[in-house]
């Protein structure tokens, strides 16, 4: 993604993510986001930015929860399969992307980050979309994928993105290998687009 695409996204992207609230009234003063849900996370799901959620596998496989949260897109980040509730259980079938990656510090995640970031951008460009990113526990793989998206969208460093997610999801804790790959991704992919 070039610098031009990044700039266009920030200036012409989904503007409803931006808020006019003051730092004092914002849930996280140094961020451009304002959550539509200010209550505690339910059923192990957390809204990271408006309409972008992180959860564990049990939430992602639960038709009642997917329906209750009006999830339209699901990005799965785990090596195993994911139960897909049939239309009889979940009439609105979400669009899906499944990235097969092990929960290991040595698993290759960085190679998937450009495609997951593009997929999230496209999904969230529709103001009606509600996007879920999950792994087995909603702790490491899914957090890393969302962190890469926030890095691209906001020009953040990996630590800024991860800390922001931790402020919205306390159990977020990417493994050291994924943190290292986020730094590699920032150096080789994100910064190259700004030159």
Indicate whether 124 belongs to any domain.
yes
Q: Is residue 6 part of a domain?
A: no
Q: What angle do CA 85, 90, 93 make, to 5 degrees?
A: 85
- What domain range includes position 99? 46-194
Give catalytic status of residue 43 as yes or no.
no
- pTM: predicted TM-score of the whole model, two decimal places: 0.79
3-class state of residue 177 by DSSP: helix
Tokens read off for 40: 């505690």
Q: What is the pLDDT of residues 9-38, one digit of tens each?
A: 332 332 223 222 223 223 333 444 443 333
Q: Which residue in 32, 69, 148, 65 sits closest to 101, CA to CA?
A: 148
Does 149 reside within a domain? yes
Do residues 93 and 164 lie in contact, with contact meaning Cβ atoms separated by under 8 Å? no
Distance CA 59, CA 135 (A): 10
Residue 3 within a domain: no
Residue 49's pLDDT is what?
A: 98
- Whether the per-residue pLDDT at 64 is higher than 90: the answer is yes
CATH code for the domain in which residue 85 is found? 3.90.190.10
Residue 31 lies in a domain: no
For 130-142, how does the pLDDT look when each residue is reduced to its tens digit (9 = 90+)? 999 999 999 999 9
Is the Cβ–Cβ distance between 136 and 60 less than 8 Å? no
Q: Report the C-alpha gap between 17 and 3 in whole angstroms.
A: 20
Instruction: Tell how strand 95-99 and strand 73-77 pair up.
Output: parallel
Judge whether 113 and 188 are in contact, CB under 8 Å: no
Distance of CA 80 to the CA centre of its chain: 19
Which residues, in sequence order, are CB contacts of 45 under 8 Å at separation 6+? 53, 54, 55, 59, 65, 69, 132, 138
Q: What is the pLDDT of residue 189?
A: 82
CA distance 188 to 24: 36
Residue at 32 is within a domain: no
Instruction: Domain count for the chain, please give it.
Output: 1
Among residues 49, 75, 132, 135, the one annotated as catalytic is: 135
Q: How confident is the model at residue 149 (pLDDT cuts 50, 70, 90)?
A: very high
- 143 occurs within a structural domain: yes
| Residue 5 lies inside a defined structural domain of this protein | no
């Amino acid at each position: 993604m070039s610098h031009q695409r990044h700039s266009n996204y920030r200036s012409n992207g989904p503007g409803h993510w931006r808020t006019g609230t003051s730092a004092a009234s914002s849930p996280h003063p140094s961020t451009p986001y304002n959550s539509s849900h200010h209550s505690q996370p339910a059923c192990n799901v957390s809204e990271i930015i408006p309409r972008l959620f992180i959860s564990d596998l049990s939430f992602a496989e639960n038709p009642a929860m997917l329906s209750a949260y009006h999830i339209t897109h699901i990005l799965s980040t785990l090596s195993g399969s994911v139960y897909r509730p049939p239309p009889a259980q979940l009439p609105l079938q979400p669009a899906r992307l499944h990235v097969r990656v092990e929960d290991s510090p040595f698993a290759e995640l960085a190679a998937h980050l450009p495609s997951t970031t593009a997929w999230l951008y496209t999904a969230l460009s529709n103001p009606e979309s509600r996007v879920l990113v999950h792994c087995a526990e909603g702790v490491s793989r899914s957090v890393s994928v969302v962190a890469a998206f926030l890095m691209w969208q906001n020009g953040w460093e990996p630590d800024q993105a991860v800390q922001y997610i931790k402020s919205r999801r306390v159990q977020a804790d990417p493994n050291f290998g994924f943190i290292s790959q986020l730094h590699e991704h920032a150096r080789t992919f994100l910064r190259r687009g700004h030159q």
